[in-house]
Amino acid sequence: MNTEVVLKALADLPRTGTAAALCTIIQAKGSTPRKAGAKMLVYEDGSIVGTIGGGEIEARVIEGALASIQTGESKILSFDLIDPQKGDPGICGGTQEVFIDPLKQPQDLVVIGGGHVGRAVVHLGEWLGFRVVLSDDREEYCTPENAPGADEYIHCQLEELPERYDFSPQSAIVLATRNNQVDIQGLPELLGAPSAYIGVISSRRRWKLTRAELVKAGIKEEDLDRIKAPIGLDIKAETPEEIALSILAEVIQSRRGGSGKALS
C-alpha cells in the first residue's frame, strides 16, 4: 500500500508543478526498519508521502533529499545501523542504502491573454514541455475550448493574478493582452511577483507609451528594464503561430543562455 500511495503522489507532480525527490531503499542487509524497494517522496517544503522506516535514518534522508532538490543531483546515502555513539542513525544491526532522485518539474509558462497569439503560445508551450497556465479577464477566452492544452486556467483581472497563482523564480510570463490599458493596470502587481522571464507583446510605439504611463504611476525604471518588449526574437514572424515561435525561442534563450545568433 505504501508504494501505491507514493506512486500516486509521484504521478500527480506534473499537474501541481511541485518539486520533489523520490527516495528508494536500494539495498538492505541484516535487521533494518524497511527492506529494499520501500519508497518515500519528499516535497520541497519537507513534507513527505510514504516512509522508509521513520526515526533518525528517515530524518537524514529527508535532509539529503532537500539538498538534492536544490542542486538537482542524484545521490546514494549509506547507513550503518549499529552504534549511535559513532554517529549511526540506529541500533538495529543492519546496513541500508537509499537512492535519492530529485524530480525536476517543467518550467511554468504563464500566458496572459487567450486571443490568437495567446492560443498559439499555449499550444506550442504544451508541445515544448512547459507547464502552461492561461489567464484572461474574459471568461470565454479562458477555457479549454478556446485554448486547448493549458494545464490550468485562471479567469481573473491581470492585477489579481499574483494572488491567484503562486509564481516562482522559474516562471516565464508572456503578456498577449488585447491592449496596453490591460498592461498598464496589471503590470505593477505582476512586477512584484517572482519570475525568470517576463515579456509583453507590443509594438515599439505601444510599449513606449505603456512604459511612460507606468513610470508616471511610480514604477521604477530598473523594474521595467526586466520586461522584454517588443517580445520575441526577430524572425520576421507574421502569423500567430510564427509569433508564438519567436516568443518561446526567446524564453528558451533566456533560460539556457543562448546568443540567438544563427549557428551557421
Q: Are residues 93 and 123 in the same domain?
A: no
DSSP the chain: -HHHHHHHHHHHHHHHT--EEEEEEEEEESS-SS-TT-EEEEETTS-EEE-SS-HHHHHHHHHHHHHHHHH---EEEEEE-S-GGGT-S--SS-EEEEEEEEEPPPPEEEEE--SHHHHHHHHHHHHTT-EEEEEESSGGGSSTTTSTT-SEEEES-GGGHHHHS---TT-EEEE--SSHHHHHHHHHHHHTS--SEEEE---HHHHHHHHHHHHHTT--HHHHTTEESS-S--S---SHHHHHHHHHHHHHHHHHT-------
Q: Are residues 74 and 174 in the same domain?
A: no
Q: Are residues 128 and 241 in the same domain?
A: yes
Q: Are residues 140 and 190 in the same domain?
A: yes
pLDDT of residue 43: 92
Closest CA to 164 of 142, 148, 196: 142
Q: Are residues 74 and 181 in the same domain?
A: no
pLDDT (tens place) for every residue of the chain, 264 residues total: 478 888 898 888 877 767 899 999 898 877 667 788 889 999 989 999 988 887 778 888 999 999 998 888 999 988 776 545 544 445 565 778 899 999 877 889 999 999 999 999 999 999 999 999 999 999 999 999 999 999 999 999 999 999 999 898 889 999 999 999 999 999 999 999 999 999 999 999 999 999 999 999 999 999 999 999 999 999 999 999 999 999 999 999 998 888 888 888
Residue 92 lies in a domain: yes
Last residue of a domain, one of 74, 103, 132: 103
pLDDT of residue 263: 87
Residue 138 lies in a domain: yes
pLDDT of residue 81: 64
Last residue of a domain, one of 51, 72, 103: 103
Q: Are residues 150 and 234 in the same domain?
A: yes
pLDDT of residue 4: 86
Q: Are residues 122 and 91 in the same domain?
A: no
Residue 264 lies in a domain: no
- Say how many domains are in the chain: 2
Q: Are residues 169 and 121 in the same domain?
A: yes
pLDDT of residue 87: 42
Residue 263 lies in a domain: no
Backbone angles phi, psi at 202, to 5 degrees: -170, 150
pLDDT of residue 245: 97
pLDDT of residue 57: 81
Residue 166 lies in a domain: yes
Q: Are residues 251 and 148 in the same domain?
A: yes
- Is residue 92 within 8 A of residue 34, CB to CB? The reply is no
- CATH number of the domain within which 165 lies: 3.40.50.720
Range of the domain at 168: 108-256
Last residue of a domain, one of 103, 122, 157: 103
Residue 261 lies in a domain: no
Q: Are residues 242 and 128 in the same domain?
A: yes
pLDDT of residue 94: 73
